[in-house]
Amino acid sequence: MSDPFYITTPIYYVNDVPHIGHAYTTVAADAAARYRRMMGSAVFFLTGTDEHGQKVEKSAAQQGVSPKALADRVVTRFQKLWKVLNISHDDFIRTTEARHQEAVQTLWRTVAAKGDIYLGEYEDWYCTPCETFLTALQLQEGKCPDCGREPEQLKEESYFFRMSRYEERLLAHLEAHPEFIQPESRRNEIIQFVRGGLKDLSISRTTFSWGIPVPGNDRHVIYVWFDALTNYLSALGYPDRTEHFGTFWPADVHVIGKDILRFHTVYWPTFLMAADLPLPRQVFSHGWWTVDGEKMSKSKGNVVDPGEMVQRYGADPFRYFLLREVPFGLDGDFSEKAMVGRFNADLANDLGNLFSRVTTMLGKYCDGTVPRTDTSGQLSAQVERAVQRVDEEMARLAFHKALQEIWALINGINRHVDQTAPWALARQASRRTELDRVMAELMEALRVVTLLISPFMPQTAAEAASVLGLEAGWSTRAGLQWGTSLASAKIAKAKPLFPRIEADERPRPAPKQPNAAGAKQVAQINLQEFQRLDLRTGVIREAEAVAKSERLLKLRVDLGEAGRRQVVAGIAAVYRPSDLIGKSVVVLCNLKPAKLMGIESQGMVLAVEGDDGLSLLGLDRPVPPGRKIH
């Protein structure tokens, strides 16, 4: 019964901390994985981190740490986020692990043995943010066509993969398998690209070293995309053809964002063809999120931190919003206004109300026990239809449609409550049988709704299941069938699943990264208010790391006549203690002292979040320490 299902997310670069885009791909893959598990498939769900390459090396250098140290730090941010978002991955792969490096080198050797790798010279352009090779023809006004940033010119010895050899075969595959690239519009784009001709691909670099060495020539490191894509195999134990590998390869679906489609649908399949391995069945490319109508970027300070959203609204509402708001495959816009709107309308009103009114009525009219009676009424047909439709939509990864179907059902059940009016039946003793029947049907409908929402909102579903007294292993394909399994069950008292969020009580801390756009919305102050801040120039005389903290440094700051102060600052990721000695800074001196990791901080050095991490505020010309800033 257990047809295997292998689903993956991209592996995320560790030069950056997780944002809404990463959360989106992962939550979507998680909902699909959970749904398939409920339907009885043997599921393998993989995520992980992409830790090599020039981009990570550069970012680490800017922060004054080794690439591995940077990876070790950032990987925990991803792992923690997946925990709070209830991601149910079966494995987490890091490309710096030995199992992965061996797999990549074996894949390289296999392709080389086929005669598909040769040594040549690469002379063209490279876009580091995209980790992509570009030809002069592809540049748009000298910029990378994908990210708009300036690429660098390379001229170096490089190994090439004979991708051109696979042009015909790839085209034939794309044509014979319309399901390979989803959505359809994306497929046409790739077919056009391949028809334009496939050139051989540079797959090694010599000008930096953070990567997996080319077998037999360790002056070269393997191109980060050749390395990264192989994660889908290495996590299954490749090159060993274990049972695990045999069960799950080829992957059923790689879920990715549209920006990395070409790597997954041109490079990856041709590498696999060269290695005589079967191709994944599908690559599904989702759209991009903007925020309040604008492109998300660190310089704008509008990057949505998923951890913060979970804190504010809960993991389930955030998961629900991501998958409900935008058709999977299209671009969408995130705003907290829309998030609160969905929360109140769909979760608090529709689902939350249904659950609480039905369980409350059961308490009142049936003493909290589900009547044992026939339930084959009108609701059963509605539920069965919804289950069927959700199944069809989930097979196409149309999460928004699946959720629409579930909500159509929830609203249908709410209407059924209004129409059958159990409160009126309860007033007439002669209608007891009818009342029992209505209540049993409503409870059965709640049970199936609980199962249907479980892939999207696992915590809420677990809470609902516990109120309904469902037994462990409640979320199964068989459980989706209408029946009488709740008969005689004693139902616990339910707390509201989603207390409404009132607009003015919405928790809204100040934006984390103040910015030009944000400044407009901040309340104005007068000069006296500004002068309450005792801001002074200071010079750092001593700096040392704080034990057990990756973030903090303990500083001794010279404030001239005002003496020296101990200040603890969260700048360890960007500054080495030795680089700080003698540096002029701006200090807020009348900040109430506070203890950080047990160490008293008597002020604050000012810093601003730049694109590559924090930057301390300094002075344009030398000024003695202790001068008041006004």
Positions that interact with ligand MSP (CB under 6 A): 10-13, 21-22, 24-25, 50, 228-229, 231, 256-257, 259-260, 288-289, 296
Least Å distance, CB 384 to ligand MSP, is: 35
Least Å distance, CB 14 to ligand MSP, is: 8
Count of residues in the chain: 630
Phi, psi of 256 (to 5 degrees): -145, 170
Least Å distance, CB 78 to ligand MSP, is: 9
Least Å distance, CB 269 to ligand MSP, is: 13
Q: How far apart are CA 433 and CA 413, in angstroms?
A: 20
CB nearer ligand MSP, residue 18 or residue 422: 18
Residues facing 204 on adjacent strands: 222
CB nearer ligand MSP, residue 55 or residue 583: 55
Q: Which amino acid is at 493?
A: K
CB nearer ligand MSP, residue 227 or residue 558: 227
CB nearer ligand MSP, residue 229 or residue 266: 229
Per the CB < 8 A criterion, the answer to whether 167 and 194 are in contact is: yes
Least Å distance, CB 301 to ligand MSP, is: 15
Least Å distance, CB 383 to ligand MSP, is: 34
CB nearer ligand MSP, residue 259 or residue 336: 259
Per the CB < 8 A criterion, the answer to whether 76 and 38 are in contact is: no
Residues facing 140 on adjacent strands: 143
CB-neighbour burial class of residue 354 (10 A; exposed 0-12, middle 13-18, buried 19+): buried
Least Å distance, CB 26 to ligand MSP, is: 9
CB nearer ligand MSP, residue 250 or residue 469: 250
Per the CB < 8 A criterion, the answer to whether 565 and 606 are in contact is: no
CB nearer ligand MSP, residue 15 or residue 450: 15
CB nearer ligand MSP, residue 227 or residue 346: 227
Whose CB is nearest to ligand MSP?
257
Q: How far apart are CA 302 and CA 518, in angstroms?
A: 9
CB-neighbour burial class of residue 453 (10 A; exposed 0-12, middle 13-18, buried 19+): buried
Spell out the residues 6+ positions from residue 33 whose beta carbon is closer than 8 angstroms to its own: 5, 7, 43, 45, 88, 89, 455
Q: How far apart are CA 592 and CA 373, in angstroms?
A: 67
Name the token pair of 317.
């509402």
CB environment 194-229: b (16+ within 10 A), e (fewer): beeebebbbbbbbeeebbbbbeeeeebbbbbbbbbb
Least Å distance, CB 10 to ligand MSP, is: 4
Least Å distance, CB 21 to ligand MSP, is: 2
Q: How far apart are CA 393 and CA 400, in angstroms?
A: 9
CB nearer ligand MSP, residue 307 or residue 368: 307
Least Å distance, CB 390 to ligand MSP, is: 24
CB nearer ligand MSP, residue 289 or residue 318: 289
Tally: H helices and E strands in the chain:
23, 24
Least Å distance, CB 260 to ligand MSP, is: 5
Torsion of CA 10, 16, 22, 26, to 10 degrees: 60
Per the CB < 8 A criterion, the answer to whether 370 and 486 are in contact is: yes
CB nearer ligand MSP, residue 75 or residue 256: 256
Q: How far apart are CA 530 and CA 74, in angstroms?
A: 37
Least Å distance, CB 50 to ligand MSP, is: 3
CB nearer ligand MSP, residue 83 or residue 295: 295
Per the CB < 8 A criterion, the answer to whether 19 and 306 are in contact is: yes
